[in-house]
Amino acid sequence: MVVEQDTVDGRKLRGERRRAQIIEATLAIVHRDGAAGVTHRTVAKEAGITTSLTLYYFATLDDLLVAALTSVTDAYTQRIRQLVDTEDDPLDGLARLIAESGGPGRERALAERELATLAARRPALRPAARSWRDSVAELARTQTNDPAAIEPFIALCDGLCTAVLLDGHEADPDHIRAVLSGALPRPGS
């Protein structure tokens, strides 16, 4: 019986690795060619596998795009959760995360931004696209007791991310932190 369990676990692990490989290929295509360049065929070619294998793991193009966007937003959500749970200054951490979009995190941020924008036309992507905004709202609620400030703060973060991507060069996290801080009324204000 132990041998059977090891076989099942091995297959599950291989399946998880294959899914991750397909998702990474999808993100590479989105970064290079935009979301319009994503097809099962192009992803298979990028990943070095057969088209039928991409279809096995992701039956529809929406399934594939949702998985790619979820992969990116889950990573952002996890980082923001860590900021909320462990940082003395979560705004500084958020500013640094946003600034990464102009440097080492540019490829992922660009893919996330393009896929999140595509969610306006593809409803299947909307829940994954909202997770970044939900995480930013959670962080903002730790900084202010003014519920009316949360939505503008989220919009500011979205705008800063877009601006960093459009600028195409390293961003100043201290400047971003100052802008974020100025947008939130402090508790008791």
Give pLDDT, residue 4. 56
The pTM score is: 0.82
For residues 113 and 4, give the distance between their C-alpha atoms in angstroms, rounded to a whole number: 43
Instruction: Compute the average pLDDT of residues 111-135.
Output: 91
Give pLDDT, residue 187. 61
Place of tokens 């609620």: 141
Q: CATH 1.10.10.60 occupies which residues in the chain?
A: 1-59
Highest mean pLDDT among 47-61, 75-89, 110-124, 167-181: 47-61
Instruction: Compute the average pLDDT of residues 151-166.
Output: 95
One-letter amino acid at 114 equals E
What percentage of the chain reaches a pLDDT higher than 70?
A: 94
Q: What is 61-188's CATH number? A: 1.10.357.10
Q: CATH 1.10.357.10 occupies which residues in the chain?
A: 61-188
Half-sphere exposure of 96 (CA within 13 A, CB side): 9
Average pLDDT, the chain: 90
Q: What are the helix and strand counts (H, E) for the chain?
A: 9, 0
According to the CATH classification, is domain 1-59 in 1.10.10.60? yes
